Amino acid sequence: MHNIQPLDQGTINKIAAGEVIERPSSVVKELLENAIDAKATAVTVEIRDGGISFIRVTDNGQGIPADEMPLAFLRHSTSKIRSAEDLFHVSSLGFRGEALSSIAAVSQVEVISRTPASLTGLRYEIEGGCEKAAEEIGAPEGTTFIVRNLFYNTPVRKKFLKTAATEGAYIGDLVEKIALSHPEVSVRFIQNNQNKLHTSGNHNLKDIIYAVFGRDIALSLLAIKKEGPALSVEGFIGKPSVARNNRNFENYFINGRYIKSNLISRAIEEAYRPFMMQHKYPFTLLHLALDPKLLDVNVHPAKREVRFQDERTLYQEIYDALSEALAHKELIPQVELDEKERREKEKRDQQQLKQERRAMPPEPFEKKRMSQSCLREPQGRQSQVREQGDLYGGSKQEPIRELEQRFRQEPKREFRQEPIRELEQRFRQEPKQEFRQEPIRELEQRFRQEPKQEFRQEPKREFEQEPEQGLKQLDLFEEQLLAPQSRSRHKLIGQLFSTYWLVEFNNQLYIIDQHAAHEKVLYEQVMASMASRSQTSQMVAPPIILSLSGREEALLTDHLPAFERLGFVIEHFGGREYAVRGVPDNLFSLAQKDLLIGMLDELSEESSLAANPAMIEEKIASISCKAAVKGNHRMSVAEADHLIDQLLLLENPYTCPHGRPTIISMSKQEMEKKFKRIVT
């Protein structure tokens, strides 16, 4: 065994850098956070080769004082906190003082910075943790970091990096997250001399969502804003129709910091669960404001995780905010038959937009040179000469030189028939006398006396009626299908394929799935009776006999009080068999042996029925599905009318318990496009 001895400082710095700097995106993250902490309103990130060979981050923030520059690269030196007590109310993105020292330990760094109070800036070079140069230099306000040859002195770390394209994609994703978390900061991202992202910093979060996620998601957003006692939630959430197969679109920021939290993800998914199919995940972009004293950000070296003091309150606040936003919207998906053509057009538009953004804007001197070259361009003058030649009776076969001579000779004679000075004198003499024939004061008096009576003869009511009519039209357009006041205008057309019912309303065709709709009606009726705790036991004769395994018997014994609170009456029947002699009366028609076995299968050693109501709901949903009317079943018009009346009473009539839509719609305009009545 080797002897114990302390490591040298260089090895210590490289080990510490390995905890903070995992890849080029880690460098960009630390530098971007420092720029935002420095009150920057504009930040530009430029990379080459995926950030492995070159990273440049420029901001217009407060800068680093020249005498403090060497201190900034020492480990655990920071301007964000002063003592351990400050960790409990950190409001800045960075605070550890490890970022710059870690970056300098594994790369070649050049910094140019100037504070607003200084006339000149400082250029500072550090390589592998060793200072190389420091000189005074002219520079704008702010800081520019240039990081070259990342992991040049740790080849093992460099060997495990991905390709340049993959590392660049990581950086692009990170820059997008920073732009979304701080809409007040203008963020520009340049990759291999191409503009990838440029936000305006105008505080408009929806503009950034459009630039990052595209048109489809930007058109399917619901605004959310709620102020709570412990937490305020603001941002946008997507309609259930924009669901994804993974959690990549679940974005949330706490006090401007992008994090990942299982607690917040659970709250989001639980709020969406009644509106979305299983194993689908929503789009969310939430800004959460929380008292810094109620969370611990000093958990993870890269600050990706935080710990909350009151998890239950946080969970409930987020769940309530999203549930309220979703419950008050009509979430009937719109069907577009030209889906392929529309997507191709959107793809072409997005490609054109990306090409325009990638075009680097010319510098001021370039604009001047380009404008001068346009003035000297002979092609424009030749086209003008051709037009003049046509006016004078010339033909296209006539040489250009003869047209130029005619253009130079003839107009000059007419233009110089009267000198400019004579025109100026005539303009100055003649109009003055006519303009001063009547003083301005007399005109003002006449305007005040005469027009008032004529202007007030017409009452303002006629003028004010137009906006009111516009508002009525808007309200009519926004009327919901499943609203009591709209029920009388439903036009029930009939049944299609013995499964779907067609309803016409407000220039829209609505298609109702009778099985999904009836299933949701049964589900919510059962859940409402359970929520009101009005259930009583209904005796079963003969009793339901359950033959359980050892594990199932242990689970039933542990959770038997919870079953009894729900209204089940279960007795030991000898051996490993149990007799179910009573069930909740609101489940009497649905309770079967499979229901109880399924409940036991989904129980675990750590969970309970009281703490996991979602499991009960899923089981009831599956049983109610069996009791609902099936597809390929002919219903009468009266039965369909009654089903629609029952849908009006539900809190969420738009999806079945499994997340499938109960109603879809198609606009009149979409049908007219298919019949070529209108061409767009």
Mean pLDDT of 152-167: 89
Same domain as 246, residue 187: no
Residue 28: pLDDT band (50, 70, 90) is very high
Number of Cβ atoms within 10 Å of the Cβ of 415? 9
State the pLDDT at residue 396: 42
For residue 481, being part of any structural domain is answered with no
Same domain as 256, residue 151: no
Rounded CA-CA distance 558/551 in Å is 11
Same domain as 239, residue 147: no
Report the number of secondary-structure helices (H) and strands (E) in the chain.
23, 22
Rounded CA-CA distance 348/340 in Å is 12
State the pLDDT at residue 649: 80
Residues 6+ apart with CB under 8 A from 74: 97, 101
For residue 604, being part of any structural domain is answered with yes
Please state, for a pLDDT cut of 70, what percent of the chain lies above it: 64
State the pLDDT at residue 464: 37
pTM of the entire structure? 0.58
Rounded CA-CA distance 13/10 in Å is 5
Q: What is the mean pLDDT of the chain?
A: 75
Tally of residues, the chain: 680
Residue 376: pLDDT band (50, 70, 90) is very low
For residue 662, being part of any structural domain is answered with yes
pLDDT at 92 over 70: no
Higher pLDDT, 35 or 298: 35
CATH number of the domain within which 583 lies: 3.30.1540.20
- Domain finish residue from 174, 198, 222: 198
- Domain finish residue from 198, 219, 250: 198
For residue 391, being part of any structural domain is answered with no
- Domain finish residue from 183, 198, 213: 198
CATH number of the domain within which 315 lies: 3.30.230.10
For residue 312, being part of any structural domain is answered with yes
Same domain as 281, residue 190: no
Which of 48-52, 108-112, 458-462, 571-575 is predicted with the least confidence, judged by mean pLDDT? Answer: 458-462
Same domain as 543, residue 625: yes
State the pLDDT at residue 568: 81
Same domain as 228, residue 185: no
Residue 391: pLDDT band (50, 70, 90) is very low
For residue 440, being part of any structural domain is answered with no
Same domain as 81, residue 194: yes
Rounded CA-CA distance 374/529 in Å is 79
Domain containing 292 equals: 205-327
State the pLDDT at residue 76: 67
State the pLDDT at residue 91: 57
CA dihedral 638→644→649→650, nearest 10 degrees, is 140
Same domain as 656, residue 543: yes
Mean pLDDT of 359-387: 43
Query: What is the identity of the amino acid at 68?
Result: E
Same domain as 299, residue 249: yes
**173 phi-psi bin (left φ>0, alpha ψ -120 to 50, beta other):** alpha
pLDDT at 440 over 90: no
Tokens 């889906």 -> residue? 339
Compute the C-alpha angle 668/671/674, nearest 5°: 155
Same domain as 265, residue 189: no
Q: 60 by DSSP, 3-state: which?
A: coil
Same domain as 238, residue 181: no
For residue 215, being part of any structural domain is answered with yes
For residue 430, being part of any structural domain is answered with no
Number of domains within the chain: 3
At 529-550, the pLDDT tens digits run 666 666 678 888 888 888 887 7
Distance, C-alpha 175 to centroid of its chain: 14
Higher pLDDT, 383 or 204: 204
**Cβ–Cβ under 8 Å, residues 584 and 596:** no
pLDDT at 351 over 70: no
| Report for 57-61, 439-443, 611-615: range of highest mean pLDDT | 57-61
State the pLDDT at residue 329: 66
CA nearest to 38, candidates 245, 258, 185: 185
Label residues 16-36 b or e (16+ Cβ within 10 Å = b): bbbebbbbbbbbbbbbbbbbb
Rounded CA-CA distance 88/516 in Å is 50
DSSP state of 661: B
Same domain as 185, residue 209: no
